[in-house]
Amino acid sequence: MTHYDEMTCLLYLEGQLERPRALELSEHVAGCAECRALLRALESESRLLAQALVEEDEAVPARLLTPPASEAMPWAWIVSFGLAAAGVYTLWTGIVQPWRQQLSQAGFGEGSLLTLLFFRGAFWKGWGEMANMVEWIAVVTLGILGVSLVRRSWRRWTTIAVVMAALAAVLALPPAAAAAETKKAQTYVLPKNEVLKNDLIVSGGTVRIDGTVEGDLIAFGETVEVNGRVTGDVIAFAKVVEVDGKVDGNVRVFANSLWLRGSVDKNVSAFCEHVGFKEKSSVGGGAMMFVADATLEGRLGRDFLGFIGRTMLNGYVGGNVALRSERLSIGSSAEIAGKASYRGPHQPEVSPQARLASPLEVKIAVHRPRYSSPGYYFKQALAWGAAFLFGLILVLLMPGFFSDVVRSGREYALAPLLGIATLVGVPVVAIIACVTIVGLAVGIGSVLLWIIAVYAAHIFVATWLGERLLGAPIGTGAVVGRLAVGLAVLRLVCMLPYVGALVKFLVVIWGLGALTLAIYRRLQPSPGPAAAVQAAA
Amino acid sequence: MAERQKRPEGMNAADLSATLSRARAGNPDAWGEIYRQYAAPIFRFCRRALPSREDAEDATMEIFLKLREKLGQYDSGRPFTAWLYKVAANHCWDTLRRRRVRQDLETGELDSLPLEHPDPNQLQQLVEQRTGQELRAALARMPARARMALVLRYYADMSYEEIAEALGVRRAFVGVVLLRARHQLREALGQRGAAGLAARGTR
């Protein structure tokens, strides 16, 4: 005798079988004890399920006792937007614009700050287009933000729209410039009297240019020497860079030491430990330095701008001097044609023989927040506004991901550990990517993303803090409220002396870890709610 | 407490429709009444459907915010609770999906495996031995879709059509989903023997 299967029995019990088939089954069951037993068991199971599900095993939480207030609070939004907009405007006019001016004086003009980051025209002729593209993307993003504010339902599409915009941007990018000459050798020497009519990219232990490069020189090596002539820019990543010959363009150096004895027609920028412009050296443009120890004995045509540990100035500067430095000494053969300003913790030593067009403007600034000045609090408020605006954009563009990150932050042990790894690991990986020339764009791109992530870290932590203070949020409006409160509290705590710095560091690694964890989880299928229940319990 | 109805109804039909039309007109007291009436069942629904208590609390509040916005769309010819649970089910399912619990949502491979025919006596025994509390604990350990299906059917008392719509599966497939969920539940219940109880005791 054949029996009915479990599926059919279940459908029968649930009243889902068609009438003839149901009749057939009930006839069969009348004479079949086994099928009857199965039906009975299934029915008991249904009963147990229904009963167990309806039973009350926990009280309704107190916060559910009153209906949730509608999230519409237009005045709060208006105030927030006002503050955020003011913050952005003041950041722009107060910090970005003056910096741009200073940079353009130092020879980074003609365009935007991005040129500083990408050294327009040096690595890739398309960076200029890229800068425009970034502006374009920013405008599109703002447009999307506007639309998403107007229409909530748009939110689902924003991700797609952003991806499409990015894709379009990538497609619209011009192709990379004609390939440069690429060399790799333990020792690379361009012999004297030899002329290379192309850009040159070299990597090697020792790179020596005795001849002429009619184009840019990009060099990676332990020692890079330019004894001959380079008609374009010199960009060098090395331990020691020596320029004894002539460079018609700019010199950008990332090195331990840069020694300049020859001449540079345009500007010099240095990210080094030691920089020495020797007596006979001459630079047509300006110099910008992020350097531990700088000595300037030669001629500098235009401005001198620096963040320097110890500065020794004993040469000619044709433009202005603006220095932030630990110490400054101006020697007897120094001459400054423009204005000179110094900011640092120690009184500079100025030789009486030094010829300065105007007296040195000195600001002794010990690196400590000035709690007594109202400007300090104003700046804090503006920074709060800027952070809030950034957070707002994050929440509105990717609400799901945002809450995921905040949730990941609740893993109090894992998140900070991961944060340390990310904080250290990404730059290392980026540097490795940069060194293998192919990955330069990837390297710079990931560093930029990393900077954004480091900044974003405190936004997630602030939201978490806000949730702790005000309870878990419901809806976007509430998240934004928690964000604002959390940011304010966090900023207040960070204003404390000593403790503030520690808190800042912890916030960065914690938030960064939460972000990393959330991204990792997005890429991985999650272990499922069972694990989540156990974790919560 | 009085015995609950299978689908928690709360007010009688006439009261409900009067309150609803007042709430739709924007009367906050009427809305408050509806909320007080249904917040607990919806919370319990979310508690069963979602992995954690926090999630359930959040979801309950979000569902009621949504309901208030959508009240105008409610067709008063249909039962209110059915509509209520439909909104709740969609919200919970969206939450789970957004969380990307991919592994449990897509049980495609599993679905094609044949199910073992149960021994009716053993099943009867299992069902009789387990308490509601044990069953809820077992539910919490099940994959999201299976759990959701059982909750929709045996708590929210939804029809097969409604379940199909809420879970985004074909109508003809709902029976399979439910049966498979029952098998998973039995397995979870079976595992939950002494070990499960011991684990509970330590807390």
ipTM of the complex, rounded to two decimals: 0.81
Point out the residue among B99, B120, B185 whose CB comes nearest to the CB of A526.
B99
Q: Between chains, do A48 and B182 touch, taking CB under 8 Å as contact?
A: no
Closest-CA distance, B77 to chain A, in angstroms, reads: 24
Point out the residue among B6, B60, B118 whose CB comes nearest to the CB of A6.
B118
DSSP characters over A401-450: HHHHHHHHTT-TTHHHHHHHHHHHHHHHHHHHHHHSGGGHHHHHHHHHHH
pLDDT at A87: 60
Q: Using an 8 Å CB-CB cutoff, list chain A residues near B144.
A: 528-529
Q: Between chains, do B132 and A525 touch, taking CB under 8 Å as contact?
A: no
Give the integer Cα–Cα distance in Å for A423 and A531: 29
Q: What are phi and psi of A59, to 5 degrees?
A: -70, 155
**Count of beta carbons in the 10 Å neighbourhood of residue A255:** 23
Q: Are B141 and B127 in contact (CB under 8 A)?
A: no
pLDDT at A532: 39
First to last CA, chain A: 50
Q: Between chains, do A16 and B118 touch, taking CB under 8 Å as contact?
A: no
pLDDT at A113: 44
Q: Between chains, do B178 and A10 touch, taking CB under 8 Å as contact?
A: yes
Point out the residue among B35, B101, B175 whose CB comes nearest to the CB of A67.
B35
Q: Using an 8 Å CB-CB cutoff, list chain B residues near A529.
A: 50-52, 96, 101, 104, 140, 143-144, 147
Q: Between chains, do B98 and A63 touch, taking CB under 8 Å as contact?
A: no
Q: What are phi and psi of A496, to 5 degrees?
A: -65, 145
- A154, A407, B44, B148, B179 from A59: Cα distances, Å: 37, 24, 9, 21, 31
- Is residue A296 classed as helix, strand or coil in its secondary structure? strand
Residues 6+ apart with CB under 8 A from A225: A206, A207, A208, A209, A241, A242, A243, A244
Q: What residues 151-180 of chain B have any CB closer than 8 A to a CB of chain A?
A: 151, 154-155, 160, 175-176, 178-179
Q: Using an 8 Å CB-CB cutoff, list chain B residues near A70.
A: 65, 68
A374 in contact with B, Cβ within 8 Å: no
Show the domains of chain B with their CATH numbers. Answer: 13-99 (1.10.1740.10), 118-202 (1.10.10.10)
Q: Are A485 and A466 in contact (CB under 8 A)?
A: yes
Q: Between chains, do A7 and B176 touch, taking CB under 8 Å as contact?
A: yes
Q: Are B141 and B102 in contact (CB under 8 A)?
A: no
Taking every pair of C-alpha atoms in chain A, what is the biggest distance, in angstroms?
Answer: 121
Q: What residues 433-492 of chain A have any CB closer than 8 A to a CB of chain B?
A: 472, 474-475
pLDDT at A78: 60
Amino acid at A80: S
Q: Are A491 and A383 in contact (CB under 8 A)?
A: yes
What secondary structure letter does DSSP report for A180? P
DSSP characters over B115-173: PPPPPHHHHHHHHHH--HHHHHHHHHTS-HHHHHHHHHHHTS---HHHHHHHHT--GGG
pLDDT at A528: 40
What's the distance, CA A238 to chain centroid?
25
pLDDT at B100: 58
Amino acid at A371: Y
Examine the pLDDT at B155 and tell me if it is beyond 70. Answer: yes
Give the integer Cα–Cα distance in Å for A314 and B108: 77
B9 in contact with A, Cβ within 8 Å: no
- A149, A214, A407 from A521: Cα distances, Å: 28, 50, 11
Give the integer Cα–Cα distance in Å for A421 and B14: 63
Q: Between chains, do A68 and B61 touch, taking CB under 8 Å as contact?
A: yes
Q: Using an 8 Å CB-CB cutoff, list chain B residues near A522.
A: 100
Give the integer Cα–Cα distance in Å for A371 and A368: 9
Q: Between chains, do A67 and B64 touch, taking CB under 8 Å as contact?
A: yes
Q: Between chains, do B182 and A54 touch, taking CB under 8 Å as contact?
A: no
Give the integer Cα–Cα distance in Å for B173 and B186: 20
Place of tokens 């500065």: A311
* Average pLDDT per 10 consecutive residues for chain A, totaling 537 residues: 82 88 88 88 89 79 72 55 63 64 55 44 45 54 56 49 58 48 81 86 86 88 90 87 92 88 90 88 88 89 86 90 86 88 85 85 70 74 81 81 83 84 81 62 77 88 87 74 87 83 89 87 53 38
Q: Between chains, do B140 and A530 touch, taking CB under 8 Å as contact?
A: yes
Amino acid at A85: A
Residues of chain B with pLDDT > 70, as a percent, come to: 80
